[in-house]
A and B are shown apart, each in its own frame.
Chain A
Amino acid sequence: DQQVKQNSPSLSVQEGRISILNCDYTNSMFDYFLWYKKYPAEGPTFLISISSIKDKNEDGRFTVFLNKSAKHLSLHIVPSQPGDSAVYFCATQDPLSYGGSQGNLIFGKGTKLSVKP
Chain B
Amino acid sequence: DAGITQSPRHKVTETGTPVTLRCHQTENHRYMYWYRQDPGHGLRLIHYSYGVKDTDKGEVSDGYSVSRSKTEDFLLTLESATSSQTSVYFCAIRQTYEQYFGPGTRLTVT
A42–B97 contact, CB under 8 A?
no
B104–A107 contact, CB under 8 A?
no
Which label, helix, strand, loop or mixed, suits the secondary structure of the B interface? strand
B94–A103 contact, CB under 8 A?
yes
| CB 8 Å contact bits of B30-54 with A (1 = contact, 0 = none) | 0101000000111111001010000
Residues in chain B near residue A108, CB distance under 8 A: 42
18 sample A-B contacts, Cβ–Cβ < 8 Å, listed by A number? A36-B101, A42-B104, A43-B90, A43-B103, A43-B104, A44-B43, A46-B98, A49-B98, A89-B43, A93-B97, A100-B50, A102-B56, A103-B31, A104-B48, A105-B45, A107-B44, A109-B41, A110-B42
The reply to whether the CB of B18 lies closer than 8 angstroms to some CB of chain A is no
Residues in chain A near residue B43, CB distance under 8 A: 44, 89, 91, 105, 107
Minimal beta-carbon separation of A101 from chain B (angstroms)? 8
B41–A44 contact, CB under 8 A?
no
The reply to whether the CB of A86 lies closer than 8 angstroms to some CB of chain B is no
B103–A109 contact, CB under 8 A?
no
The reply to whether the CB of A34 lies closer than 8 angstroms to some CB of chain B is yes
A34–B98 contact, CB under 8 A?
yes
Chain A residue nearest to B106 (CB atoms) is A41
The reply to whether the CB of B15 lies closer than 8 angstroms to some CB of chain A is no
The reply to whether the CB of B64 lies closer than 8 angstroms to some CB of chain A is no
Cβ contact of B104, chosen from A6, A41, A103, cutoff 8 A:
A41
Residues in chain B near residue A100, CB distance under 8 A: 50
Residues in chain A near residue B98, CB distance under 8 A: 34, 46, 49
